[in-house]
Amino acid sequence: MQKKIALIQMDVTYGDPKVNFARVNKWVKDAVQSGAEMVVLPELWDTGYDLKRFDVLADKDAHATTEFLSDLAKQHNVTIIGGSVAEDSKDGMKNTMLVIDQNGKLVHKYSKLHLFQLMDEHLHLVEGQDEADFELDGVPSAGFICYDIRFPEWLRKSAVNGAKVMYVVAEWPKSRIDHWRTLLQARAIENQCYVIACNRIGSDPNNEFGGMSLVMDPWGEIITEGGSEEKMILSEIDLDKVDEVRKRIPIFQDRRAEWY
């Protein structure tokens, strides 16, 4: 099974959802015109890290953002890994990933589990209480948000549950972009799955972001990499490769979970 994917390595205007909605509208249209069947957006594409103003900016229960992405998905018959958005939930503010199928149905909602203290998330957000796993077009998949990739046990859980594709959405600063690449490669190799990772570009008052969005195959080879400009990265994945790699080195049979 093959799939054509567009990663939107976009700039995000700090604290201005209206401008960012218009941007995403155009990017999704361009991606579909280029033949993409799936579009992946970065972390907090609607507000950026304007956490201090989440009380006025965050979307109540992510209703408006879900509706916006759902309309786009239906209109263009495309699946959207909707990055993450600022959600004003009943439990508090969350950094929430939305996954929408090509019929506009919300198939998965995941709020970031690991809050990143270096960017003050712990002061403004509450952590999610969701599983990372979901099924999309019959493919076992999982979604993670940025700092989550530093917790291999969290991604491993999804691989053990059967995930063949892991989506990662991020606002990862340029200053640690080597960590980004290395961690993603390790997650792909150790879990023998595709890693599809979309990072933003541009800057906000506190950080310059690094781009380098990428698609990594289950052998850990980079199929496509985004560099450091604002752009759409088109890539194709072949899911049969996951089974081939898992057969060649059968780590899921060989692991001795009773020892660790």
Ligand X SMILES: NC(=O)CCC(=O)C(=O)O
- 29 makes contact with ligand X (CB under 6 A): no
Residue 26 is a catalytic residue? no
The distance of closest approach from Cβ of residue 179 to ligand X in the complex, given in angstroms and rounded to an integer, is 6
CB of 42 to ligand X, least distance (A): 10
Strands 133-136 and 106-111: unpaired
- Work out how close the CB of 170 gets to ligand X at its nearest, in angstroms, rounded to a whole number: 6
With CB under 6 A as the contact rule, the residue among 57, 85, 119, 242 that binds ligand X is: 119
DSSP 140-174: EEEEEEGGGGG-HHHHHHHHHTT-SEEEEEE--BG
Which residues are bridge partners to 196 per DSSP? 167, 215
Nearer to ligand X, 2 or 175 (CB): 175
Q: How far is the CB of 148 from ligand X (least distance, A)?
A: 8
**Among this protein's residues, is 43 annotated catalytic?**
yes
Q: How far is CA 260 from CA 44, 97, 152, 161, 191, in A?
A: 35, 30, 14, 17, 16
CA-based nearest residue to 172, from 139, 150, 143, 195: 150
The contact mask relative to ligand X for 30-69 (x = CB under 6 A, - = no) is -------------x--------------------------
Strand pairing partners for 64?
Answer: none
Rounded to 5 degrees, what are φ and ψ at 203? -145, 165
Decide if 112 is catalytic.
yes
- Residues 195 and 187: beta-carbon distance below 8 Å: yes
The stretch among 23-31, 83-91, 96-104, 172-180 that binds ligand X (CB under 6 A) is: 172-180
* Binding characters for ligand X, 175-204, by CB under 6 A (x = yes): -x--x-------------------------
3-state SS, 16-42, equals CHHHHHHHHHHHHHHHHHCCCCEEECC
The footprint of ligand X (CB under 6 A) covers 43, 116, 119, 146-147, 150, 171-173, 176, 179
Active site residues: 43, 112, 146
